[in-house]
Amino acid sequence: EIVMTQSPATLSVSPGERATLSCRASQSVSSNLAWYQQKPGQAPRLLIYGASTRATGIPARFSGSGSGTEFTLTITSLQSEDFAVYYCQQYNNWPLTFGGGTKVEIK
């Protein structure tokens, strides 16, 4: 099983600042990596797939990068609606696996 490790567990950021979230895979997942956003009481929402492609309707302030085992989600100029939990997920191998999540909170 591929283990996905996200860091940090919690990120405190002021509105308007930049947030950088990391996701590491225990073995290569090529570019088969997705990022999701989840707000309390809601289902997750797809942000990024293919490591760097924004899903439909996702603002340009969200960007993904990386390949192989190291991935980054960057949110430039955080808006109030961006404070949430973010998960990475690999879909290169079975079983599919998620990272433990990074909570982005208001500083």
Partner 1 sequence: EVQLVESGGGLVQPGGSLRLSCEASGLTFSIYAMTWVRQAPGKGLEWVSAISGNGGSTNYADSVRGRFTVSRDNSKNTLYLEMDSLRAEDTAVYYCAKCFSAGNRDYYYTDVWGKGTTVSVSS
Residues that bind partner 1 (CB under 8 A): 1, 32, 34, 36, 38, 43-46, 49, 55-56, 85, 87, 89, 91, 94-101
- Whole-number minimum distance, CB 76 to partner 1, in Å? 23
For partner 1, the closer of residues 32 and 72 by Cβ is: 32
Calpha distance 9→101 (Å, rounded): 7
Q: Looking at beta carbons only, is 16 or 41 nearer to partner 1?
A: 41
Pick 38 or 63: Cβ nearer partner 1: 38
Burial class of residue 6 in the structure, from the number of CB atoms within 10 Å of its CB (0-12 exposed, 13-18 middle, 19+ buried): buried
Residues 21, 62, 19, 40: what is their CA dihedral angle, to the nearest 10 degrees?
A: -80
CB of residue 71 vs partner 1: minimum separation in angstroms? 13
Measure CA 95 to chain center: 19
